[in-house]
Amino acid sequence: MESPLIDHPDRLAVSAAVGPIAPVPDQIGVAGIATRRRVPLLRVALAGVAVLAGSALFLSGYSLGRQAAAEPGTPADDPAAFRPFWDTYHTINDRYAGGTVDRERMVQGAIRGMIDSLADPYSAYLTSDEYRASLQGISGEFEGIGADLASQATDGSSSCTTIGPTCRLVIVKPIGGSPAERAGLLPGDRVLAADGVPFDGLSVDAARARIRGPKGTILELSIARDGASPFELSITRDIIQEPEVETRVLAGGTVGYVQLKGFSDRSASDFATAVRDQVAAGRQRLVIDLRGDPGGYVTAARQVASQFIGSGAIFWEQDARGSQTATLAIPGGVATDGSIRVVCLIDHGSASASEIVAAALQDTGRATLVGQRSFGKGTVQQWQELAGEGGAFRLTIARWLSPAKRWIHGVGLEPDITVALPAGVPPGADPTLDRALELLAPTTAPVIP
């Protein structure tokens, strides 16, 4: 069964993945780089995210889960090319004397080797368990306690990398309705240990891995809180539905702000509702924030872009034979009226489906892009599920091109207005958003005497 295309450069690629963590251009994946907030947020709820071959779902666009009902065996027109493979396979089965041969593991290893031979960071093999975890992550649901974590130097001056005497793990905020919130975790709480084992010497990623876990399991956290003695807190992990859309009102109620953190089907619907509410409230100036958004389903990208673009191509797909197919706007978008002014924020963490939307808005002149150059992921992957417990693989099957047929792979999108981010930006400051509000400020015609 063909599933919808997803374009996640990897929260990888499990939507991937995360709240929001920007991908590192020279290190494919969800490996943390500082976000615009300068404090690297790590979504504890990410337990379901599988990290593959150094990739996080942030960098993958793909279509999901087609069961291969392929013709088994060696192609009749090319037996010589496969003879070394079968010779090796049969020799191992017949003659290996070092122990029992796990044929399932051997076959999975062969499949992984074929995919790895492509040297494509966006194509990869997953075991059955990894594949299931990937699908869970792409859906926007994760298993964990549901809290944002950050590293913080003990003097409070900045973030840090290794937990220890001068670097602590703190709760930024629990997700609304999550086990963390129900258990009483508060912003600013310091997390000292998990199940009695301190985090000293661990990276933030490793600390996060210790905190996440399957639904129903109990985690004992040691917590330090200002004004109180350290105490133990028991939290039962659960499936967390990560909020992917945030909406606010800025500039004295005159500018609507909608942030999108991922491209699941649910987030696309929530995004449309948020924009509709802003427009219904009479706001004719909107800020769409795609910073740090690693992408997701390309079908969701189409829905999001169609809220502003009434007709024509949202993007093009170019397959292995060079054929190009347009994906058209869905009629009925809630903000297609040109009188609604739109600014779209991007940065180095905006990738894949985020770039599809931003490129469409830029090429059609529907929005002004403000921020920093985007990640630069211009390919689409398809998931193919293998029979039995054979797992699945994702394979690059197409390039995506902007409406003007630009291919931004490895290059990224250049914003219409670049905002430099100097070192030492104070906490809470947001120069990129400030610049967007300047652009959207109403203009007053000069008074001529």
Tens digit of each residue's pLDDT (9 = 90 or more) over 301-334: 999 999 999 999 999 999 999 999 999 999 999 9
Model confidence at 129: pLDDT above 50: yes
> Longest Cα pair distance anywhere in the chain, in angstroms?
99
pTM as predicted: 0.71
352 classed as catalytic: yes
Confidence tier at 58 by pLDDT (50, 70, 90): very low
Contacts of 177 (CB under 8 A, 6+ apart): 146
Per-residue pLDDT, 141 = 72
The more confident residue out of 383 and 50 is 383
Percent of the chain with pLDDT over 90: 50
Among 31-45, 131-145, 176-190, where is mean pLDDT lowest?
31-45
CA–CA gap between residue 410 and residue 376 (Å, rounded):
5
CA–CA gap between residue 87 and residue 379 (Å, rounded):
36
Among 267-271, 278-282, 291-295, 425-429, where is mean pLDDT lowest?
425-429
User: pLDDT averaged over the chain?
Assistant: 81
Q: Catalytic: which of 151, 352, 374, 402?
A: 352
CA–CA gap between residue 43 and residue 199 (Å, rounded):
17
Q: Catalytic: which of 148, 238, 347, 363?
A: 363
87 classed as catalytic: no
What tens digit of pLDDT does each residue of 218-240 get? 999 999 998 889 999 999 999 88
What tens digit of pLDDT does each residue of 149-187 get? 878 888 766 667 789 999 999 887 888 889 999 999 998
Q: Catalytic: which of 55, 289, 377, 402?
A: 377
Q: Contacts by 209-216 with C-beta closer than 8 Å and gap 24+?
A: 211/44, 211/144, 211/145, 211/149, 212/44, 212/45, 212/46, 212/47, 212/142, 212/143, 212/144, 212/145, 212/237, 213/47, 213/143, 213/144, 213/237, 214/47, 214/143, 215/143, 215/239
Ordered DSSP codes for 57-86: EEEEEEE--EE--PPPSS-TT-HHHHHHHH
- Residue 84 φ/ψ, nearest 5 degrees: -60, -35
CA–CA gap between residue 367 and residue 267 (Å, rounded):
21
Per-residue pLDDT, 236 = 96
CA–CA gap between residue 252 and residue 131 (Å, rounded):
46
Percent of the chain with pLDDT over 70: 78
377 classed as catalytic: yes
